[in-house]
Structure 1
Amino acid sequence: MDPLPPIVAEATVPLPPRTAFLAFTAHMGEWWDPVLSPDPATFTGVDIDPDGEVALRHGGSRHVWGEVTTWDPPSAYAQTFWLGHTPDHPTTLSVTFRAAAEGTHVRLEHGGWTEATAGLREKYTHWDDLMTRYAAHAAR
């Protein structure tokens, strides 16, 4: 099977790259859509350890959904990803931050699709909406 192309979502935000990187990572819990969590009613945030886990916070509990693989402010962030599927077959999120005339162009790629995960790919239709939420948060 040929590898499937990544799902791509992009936004340009009116911030310099370092601030755009921090808005994406350190503030992810402020723009992430709680509906895309295991229990939207108890969603309280996102924890990102630059040297380890990425987890959704639900009250006092955590739901780990990836591990950071690249932490290179202000230009790149990447992680393994298994929100909505098992960690046995993670996919990848790669995000780049590039200076642009209007601020920073942010490109998210959800890739790493294999035979084991190809059937899941069609359910990941939310990245454009999440990038819109991120851009709105960054513009505040």
Structure 2
Amino acid sequence: MSGLPIEETVTVGVPPDRAFALFTEGFGEWWPEEYTYSGPDGLQTIALGAAPGDFCYELGPEGFHVDWGRMVAIEPGRRIVFLWQIGPDSAPQPDPHQASQVEVAFAPDGEDGTIVRLTHAGFERHGEGAADYRREMASEDGWPLILDAFADFARRA
């Protein structure tokens, strides 16, 4: 079961270029605090890398810094791909060979909408606990919650 990817979609009422910008440039404004290391009171910044090879990171209180992913591909307006370097125990995983991969694609939906399709694959690379980790991220408190937070942000923007 840990070898199956998670696939989730959400539709937002803005064109793909705008949805892409909101997702990437606005990442720190919509990413759920439940999925940060610093929590609501300590989070200063959470961001995706801006170019392939750049780290995805979080900054918190008193100089706290954690790299939790790395950008693999960026095609503005179309898709991003990044390594998910967070282990089943929620600890950062510095070894990219033990990271899963997340792809987020942005496709037109009518004249002014976008279908945002997220695929999280490679859970088996997380080793022990991978199947439970996949189940957790596929549950309503995982990627569905995260994408709903993005959709809410896109509606307000």
**TM-score, normalized by length of structure 2?**
0.80
**Partner of residue 49, structure 1:** 49
Unmatched segments (≥5 aa) in structure 1: none
Q: CA RMSD in A?
A: 1.8
- 1:63, CA displacement in angstroms? 1.4
Higher relative CO (Cα under 8 Å, sequence separation at least 6) belongs to 1
Identical-pair percentage: 25
SS of structure 2 residue aligned to 1:50: coil
Richer in strand (by share): 1
1:58-99 deviation per Cα after TM superposition (whole angstroms, max 9, x unaligned): 144321101000110110101001222423310111000000
1:82-119 deviation per Cα after TM superposition (whole angstroms, max 9, x unaligned): 22242331011100000001500000111112262624
Match of 1:91 among 76, 100, 105: 100
How far apart in 1 are the matches of 2:13 and 2:150? 12
**Partner of residue 134, structure 1:** 150
**TM-score, normalized by length of structure 1?**
0.89
Letter aligned with residue 55 of structure 1: Y
Contact 1:28 1:45 (8 Å CA) reproduced: no
**Partner of residue 112, structure 1:** 122
How far apart in 2 are the matches of 1:25 and 1:63? 18
Unmatched segments (≥5 aa) in structure 2: none
Tell me the number of residue pairs that the alignment of Structure 1 and Structure 2 aligns. Answer: 139
Match of 1:81 among 84, 90, 95: 84
